[in-house]
Amino acid sequence: MNSSTERDPVCTYLEWDSQFFQRRIARLNRHRLDHATMVECAHWCRHHRIDCLYFLADSNDLETPRLAEANDFHLTDIRMTLGRVVVPEDFAANSFDGFRHAREDDLRALRTIARTSHHDTRFYFDGHFEQEKCDLLYATWIENSFRGFAQAVLVAEADGEPAAYLTCHLNDQGSQIGLVGVGEGHRGKGLATKLVRAFLSWSREQGARRALVVTQGRNLPAQRLYQRNGFITSSMDLWYHRWFAP
């Protein structure tokens, strides 16, 4: 979400989300709430016939959660951002042993893994989206990542088949982990740890000086995974969704 100015629209209509979920979905372009923002936001949503409004709230503002809860916003997730410096030691010669970049013929397996790997996210905890639709969201997400949304998709194999994946992104802040998924029969074998280390090696190759990752507050195994690999929590934000009556 971009920082707002007085000229920013209070909300943005999200065309992709709306088409995918077949609901009119928008995002609130503010991190903090006050009464004037609530009035402007409600007017904009009524005018644009919005069904669901996403809001990423600044957890450090005392008034914002109170106003959100008083105006029918419901907490769906705690957004944890972790980061670390990319160092020369991350560029080990064997960092990619057993791993490779995704290929076109991996997509069927990657979509299958994605359908069962992201049940901690806000879409599943919202309560208004069908689980099958949420499963399809992440299957579509991993395919779109392969087709250019991510700069790279790293794959770990088991018995010659894709068993886990990690998507790699580059931005102004450095490198960032997108999705991490491990197949149901391959969890607990250390594949995610090895993929994170391969990501750090990839980041070093790309010239990134800092690596970031975002995960859910309820996803303690993911937080421990990143902490074991040198990531430190840098911020915490609150995801709210507001649904409007027809």
Which pLDDT belongs to residue 1? 38
pLDDT at 131: 97
Domain ranges in the chain are: 11-71, 84-236
Q: What is the CATH number of domain 84-236?
A: 3.40.630.30
Residue count of the chain, please give it. 246
- Nearest Cα to 200, choosing from 234, 228, 163, 160? 228
Q: Strand pairing partners for 240?
A: 55, 75
> What's the confidence (pLDDT) of residue 90?
73
Instruction: Assess contact for 220 and 227: CB atoms under 8 A.
Output: no
Do residues 220 and 228 lie in contact, with contact meaning Cβ atoms separated by under 8 Å?
A: no
Q: How far apart are CA 140 and CA 154, in angstroms?
A: 17
pLDDT in tens, the chain (246 residues): 344 445 689 999 999 999 999 999 999 999 999 999 999 999 999 999 999 999 999 999 999 999 999 999 999 999 999 999 999 877 665 555 678 999 999 999 999 999 999 999 999 999 999 999 999 999 999 999 999 999 999 999 988 899 999 999 999 999 999 999 999 999 999 999 999 999 999 999 999 999 999 999 999 999 999 999 999 999 999 999 999 987
Token pair recorded at residue 117: 């790997």
Q: How far apart are CA 51 and CA 221, in angstroms?
A: 33
